Amino acid sequence: VEELTGHKLLAPEGGMIIPYDGEKGVDLYCTTSSAGGGLQMMVAGLIKSMTAESANRAALGAGAIVMDVIARDDGRQSYQKIQRIRSLRPDMILMAGGTDGGASQHVMEIAELIKAAEPKPRLGVAYELPIVYAGNKSLRPQIENLLKDGFALDMVDNIRPVLEQENTEPARRAVHELFMEHVMSHAPGYTKLMKWTDVDIMPTPAGEGMAIQLIANTYKQNVMGVGLGGATTNVYSIVDGRFVRSVSANLGMSYSVTNVMKEAGIENIMRWIPFDLDKEEVASRLMNKMIRPTTIPQTLEDLIVEHSVAREALRLGLKHHRTIATRLKGVQVQRTISDMFDQAVADSYVEMMNIDICAGTGGLLSHAPRRIQSMLILTDAWQTEGITRMMQDSVFMMPHLGVVSTVYRDAAWNIFDKDCLVRLGTSIVAQGQAKFGEQVMDITLEMPNGDIIEESMNLGDIKLIPLAPDQEAKAHIEPANLYDVGAGPGKELDAVVQGGVAGLLLDARGRPLYFPPDDQKRRELLVSWFKAT
């Protein structure tokens, strides 16, 4: 950076010149780190769907990769659990279990399992493995007696003090602090870096999460975000103020691209490809990508295959995210007579109809040749519904600005807003599906210059209307039959929609997305979508 800008940053004795004196130095230096493959954790709880699930959410919120979740009812024998703890060698264990004053014997059994396994940490052999205990607080003396030798034990408030309440923040903070103190201090060059910065060094996903929260807090809307990396896919949601992060550690675009093929099934990747390729050809292209993860697509064919994989990685990432962004289990749900025949209460509260903004970051999205391509990847993969604004990170600065936002929120937002966040546009999507070619919705748009545009959309249609990033248009949408654009099935909707570098995307392809069963027809339909945009 010094060479490029001619601005002196480093002091001769090492470290940053702080503060800025008009000629050299900086006022603040902060950093993110994904060293050593990030923070690898193991989570233990009493019941898989209750305390163990809450502990899992806390660990993910701190930016960890959760290697395994151990619970009394996970179907494994004690000796299998002990073997598993030994073989995984986590950086840290988060242990929960029991409400305050609740279960005790079973919680102690889990603590004894961990003690018996004598897990060795992954990085330094010399230090004690950190354990965060966030369970029944009346058991603290017994837990301390059992685990104080051989472990660095930290006690925090219970994650589920009562069944109806989840309190993940103290555990999340403790995990973050121990990560800095124990795990990262064994990464090479780290102690030197710690002297340079006054701000906590954040794991990269935690920084990304901060940036997504910054968008949600600024616009006061529900936001869904994704970091599509080479080895992992991080999905973030903020719905009604509740922030949840999930990491799919085996879904990525380079190192773990063949895992996406395995999890999604090659047929699901091929449904997005508008030309004739056989399965072996697609599989061998993806395996080549895994062996040479830094290569970038050279031909249009390669690009389309890569974008097809991205759609599936994002779809699976969201599917996994929904299993983590759930309502609390074990809590009584009030129901009315009208619910009597509708037995299942939906577990996940992440519904695309309630999401106002989708934001993406990561090399593939940031470097797509045309902005509309990354907008379509997000729209297709997550099957957005109703009216959704689409944004993306242009230069992969999200994690860094997330860290800055913890110190100077306004400065971080200004840079983010002006230099980093690209407004792709807005998608207007009708939820529902009928026969191909039948009417879906009529849209009337009043453009900024006073022009009126009227569009009638049939199932399978998609249309892009240019509207600049700083402009807005008034939309009146009339859905046919039982299609829903956000006001309810068949109900009209008036809204003000924002433009973007891609524009307004009118999408009548049906939700779930409609694909003709016949290959030739499917290809023709895909080509028509590409041409329309």
**pLDDT number for residue 343:** 39
**pLDDT number for residue 246:** 87
User: Backbone phi, then psi, for 372, in 5-degree steps?
Assistant: -60, -25
- Please name the residues in contact with 514: beta carbons below 8 A apart, sequence gap of 6 or more: 433, 436, 459, 460
pLDDT score of 58 more than 70? yes
More confident residue, 341 or 499: 499
User: pLDDT-derived band of residue 342, with 50, 70 and 90 as boundaries?
Assistant: very low
User: pLDDT-derived band of residue 126, with 50, 70 and 90 as boundaries?
Assistant: low
pLDDT mean over 437-462: 93
pLDDT score of 341 more than 80? no
Distance set, CA 71 to CA 105, 144, 306, 330 (Å): 14, 20, 38, 15
**pLDDT number for residue 3:** 87
Cα 247 from Cα 321, distance rounded (Å): 8
Tens of pLDDT along 348-386?
A: 888 899 999 999 998 888 889 999 999 999 999 999 999
Backbone CA torsion sign across 69, 317, 512, 432: positive
pLDDT score of 307 more than 60? yes
Domains of the chain with CATH codes: 1-30 (no CATH), 38-184 (3.40.50.2300), 223-326+348-532 (no CATH)
pLDDT mean over 107-117: 93
Determine which of 176-180, 226-230, 233-237 has the lowest per-residue pLDDT on average.
176-180
pLDDT score of 183 more than 70? no
Determine which of 81-95, 184-198, 502-516 has the lowest per-residue pLDDT on average.
184-198
DSSP E strands, 96-166: 129-133, 151-155
More confident residue, 437 or 489: 489
Amino acid at 352: M
What percentage of the chain has pLDDT greater than the value 70? 95
Cα 108 from Cα 103, distance rounded (Å): 9
Tens of pLDDT along 10-52?
A: 888 878 888 888 888 888 888 887 765 677 899 999 988 888 8
**Kind of pairing between the strands at 202-203 and 129-133:** unpaired
Cα 379 from Cα 385, distance rounded (Å): 9
pLDDT mean over 403-420: 93
pLDDT score of 329 more than 50? yes
What percentage of the chain has pLDDT greater than the value 90? 56
pLDDT score of 344 more than 60? no
**pLDDT number for residue 336:** 54
pLDDT mean over 120-132: 79
